[in-house]
């Protein structure tokens, strides 16, 4: 006969394991396209792309800019992201305290295409599609404790599979409208277990999983009021990767534990883009842009949990629990962007771009350690166009390359709370990104 006291100890151990699963908080925010750029040209121009007509990247930045490309265009490219961020503590950490987690290197492939469908009522209709797939680090939900120091916007921003579809219509000679959909993959699932602790057997098990993607609509507009000026504007809804995992465990002779871990990760806020491209000369273009992002609506990035513990077999009442979301204190941001595009010859083009990315988060003075700081973005690149010898009529093939640096300003985190597990520290560093694209336009 097994005593109730022994059963209670077993239940305590098992419930401790389940609570260890539950206390999963946090994952990285942002996205590769939002932070660095979609394709080599966008990376070099510092994401100042909302007014770039006839470019496949309009699927992501501004669907209306797809008009202006009379021929089918496809692009293939690769990106390499090398974070060199660091967190320096003022005091040595004790052995029982988890310190910092830094973002890892990643690489990915991007695709893009423009398909002019034809003319309706004498006006151009264009479809577009875009795709990014991480290679070294696939789409993931990374569990980090909120008290563990890690970078809020840059922790896993390159680790998400991203799809985009868009359509654009030329309303008049100087007005184009566009709309599209952005999608990132998500996950729902769970497990039903019946466990006999005393015979050390799993009596039954059932697992369920399904894809539950995050979606966001994007709308765009372009105006060409005068010959050398293009004005672009777009709006994209907020988007994130939802996840939900349920564990239903029936502990024979002890009770039942029902838990659900859920949350929203890889969050990208709703954003408004407004920009213009002006041809100073036939060879030199100036691009300016301002991004408004609603970071104040960002959810608590921690993994949330709800459930119940039924211990009536041990004379315990049913206990229910739920997670209370944390207020991040995030604020909306305005990001200015400036870029130049110079065509030195028929074959060669040169790009340079700069942006200032203000942080949406306050200094981490309490128990949380969502690290972020104001960041400067500088991009450089070039494009080389040649006649493709393997294509019909030797249609043009453009080779593009870009190198970009995100330089984070050093930021001190001075702890004002006695409950803080970490000492004072400072965050700094940079992120390198290189992008290579091949763009082919069919005659």
Measured distance CA(379)–CA(39) in Å, rounded: 12
Q: Which pLDDT score is estimated for 2?
A: 45
How many Å separate Cα 233 from the centre of its chain?
21
- 200: three-class secondary structure by DSSP: coil
Closest CA to 190 of 166, 165, 208, 168: 208
Residues 176-213 pLDDT 10s: 999 999 887 655 554 444 444 454 444 444 444 455 67
Q: What pLDDT, in 10s, does the model give residues 160-174?
A: 678 899 999 999 989
Q: What are phi and psi of 62, to 5 degrees?
A: -160, 100
Residue 35 has what pLDDT?
86
With the C-alpha atoms ordered 105, 431, 294, 111, is the resulting torsion angle positive or negative?
A: negative
Whole-model pTM: value is 0.82
**Separation of alpha carbons 428 and 413, rounded Å:** 11
* Structural domains in the chain plus CATH codes: 4-441 (2.40.160.60)
Residue 277 half-sphere exposure toward CB, CA atoms < 13 A: 25
- Region of 37 (left: φ > 0; alpha: ψ -120 to 50; beta: rest) is left
Q: Residue 6 in 3-state DSSP?
A: helix
**CA atoms of 181 and 274, how far apart (whole Å):** 19
pLDDT in tens, 340-386: 999 999 899 999 999 999 999 999 988 888 999 999 999 999 999 98
**Residue 118 scores a pLDDT above 60:** yes
CB 295 within 8 A of CB 269: yes
Quick check: 355 and 377 in contact, CB under 8 A? yes
State pLDDT tens for residues 50-91: 999 989 999 999 999 999 888 899 999 999 999 999 999 988
Average pLDDT over residues 19-40: 60
CA dist 356 → 229, 374, 405 (Å)? 24, 8, 12
Distance between CA atoms of 53 and 276, rounded to whole angstroms?
Answer: 11
Calculate what percentage of the chain has a pLDDT beyond 70: 77
What are the structure tokens assigned to 269, written together?
Answer: 């806020």
- Percent helix, strand, coil in the chain (nearest 5)? 10, 55, 35
Task: List own/partner pairs for 244-248 with CB under 8 A and 24 or more apart.
Answer: 244/187, 244/188, 244/189, 244/190, 244/212, 245/187, 245/188, 245/189, 245/190, 245/191, 246/189, 246/190, 246/191, 247/18, 247/21, 247/190, 247/191, 247/193, 248/190, 248/191, 248/192, 248/193
The DSSP code sequence of 270-294 is: -EEEEEEEEESSSSEEEEEEEEEE-
- The two structure tokens encoding residue 100: 């910092």
Residue for token digits 């000679």? Answer: 173
User: Can you tell me the distance from the alpha carbon of 7 to that of 315, in angstroms, rounded to the nearest whole number?
Assistant: 11
In contact, 367 and 147? CB cutoff 8 Å: yes
Contact of 310 with 15, CB cutoff 8 Å: no
As a whole number, the mean pLDDT across the chain is 81
Q: Which neighbouring-strand residues pair with 74?
A: 113, 440
Residue from 337, 365, 384 nearest 51 by CA = 337
| Pairing label, strands 150-151, 370-371 | parallel
Which bin fits 253, alpha (ψ -120 to 50), beta or left (φ > 0)?
Answer: left
- Scan for tokens 């534990």, then name that residue: 257
Better pLDDT: 112 or 25? 112
Residue 384's CB is within 10 A of a number of other CB atoms, namely 13
> Alpha-carbon torsion 147, 149, 152, 154, what sign?
negative
Q: Give the pLDDT of residue 134.
A: 83
């Amino acid at each position: 006969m097994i005593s109730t006291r022994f059963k209670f100890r077993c239940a305590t151990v098992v419930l401790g394991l389940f609570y260890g699963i539950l206390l999963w908080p946090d994952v990285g925010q942002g996205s590769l396209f939002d932070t660095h750029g979609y394709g080599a040209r966008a990376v070099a121009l510092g994401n100042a792309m909302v007014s770039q007509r006839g470019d496949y990247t309009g699927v992501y930045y501004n669907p209306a800019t797809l008009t202006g490309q009379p021929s089918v265009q496809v692009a293939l490219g690769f990106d390499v992201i090398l974070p060199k961020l660091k967190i320096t503590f003022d005091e040595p950490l004790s052995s029982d305290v988890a310190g910092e987690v830094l973002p890892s290197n990643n690489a990915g492939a991007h695709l893009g295409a423009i398909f002019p469908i034809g003319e309706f009522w004498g006006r151009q209709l264009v479809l577009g599609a875009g795709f990014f797939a991480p290679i070294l680090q696939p789409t993931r939900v990374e569990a980090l404790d909120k008290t563990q120091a890690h970078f809020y916007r840059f922790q896993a921003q390159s680790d998400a599979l991203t799809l985009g579809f868009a359509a654009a219509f030329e309303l008049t000679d100087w007005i184009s409208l566009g709309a599209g959909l952005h999608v990132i993959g998500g996950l729902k699932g769970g497990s039903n277990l019946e466990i006999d602790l005393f015979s050390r057997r799993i009596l039954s098990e059932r697992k369920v999983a399904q894809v539950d993607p995050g979606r966001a609509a994007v709308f765009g507009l372009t105006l060409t009021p005068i010959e050398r000026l293009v004005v672009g504007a777009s709006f994209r809804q907020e988007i994130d990767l939802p996840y939900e995992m349920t564990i239903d465990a029936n502990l024979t002779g002890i009770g039942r534990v029902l838990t659900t871990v859920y949350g929203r990760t890889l969050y990208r806020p709703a954003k408004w883009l407004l920009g213009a491209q002006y041809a100073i000369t036939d060879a030199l273009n100036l691009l300016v842009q301002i991004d408004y992002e609603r970071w104040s609506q960002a959810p608590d990035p921690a993994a949330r949990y709800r459930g119940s513990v039924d211990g009536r077999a041990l004379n315990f009442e049913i206990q229910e629990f739920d997670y209370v979301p944390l207020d991040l204190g995030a604020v909306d941001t305005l990001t200015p962007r400036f870029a130049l595009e110079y065509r030195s010859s028929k074959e060669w083009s040169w790009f340079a771009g700069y942006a200032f990315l203000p942080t949406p988060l306050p200094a981490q003075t309490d128990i949380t350690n969502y690290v972020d700081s104001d960041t400067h973005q500088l991009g450089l690149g070039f494009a080389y166009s040649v006649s493709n010898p393997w294509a019909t009529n030797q249609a043009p093939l453009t080779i593009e390359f870009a190198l970009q640096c995100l330089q984070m300003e050093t930021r001190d985190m001075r702890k004002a709370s006695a409950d803080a597990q970490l000492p004072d520290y400072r965050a700094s560093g940079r992120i390198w990104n290189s992008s290579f694209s091949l763009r082919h336009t069919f005659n």
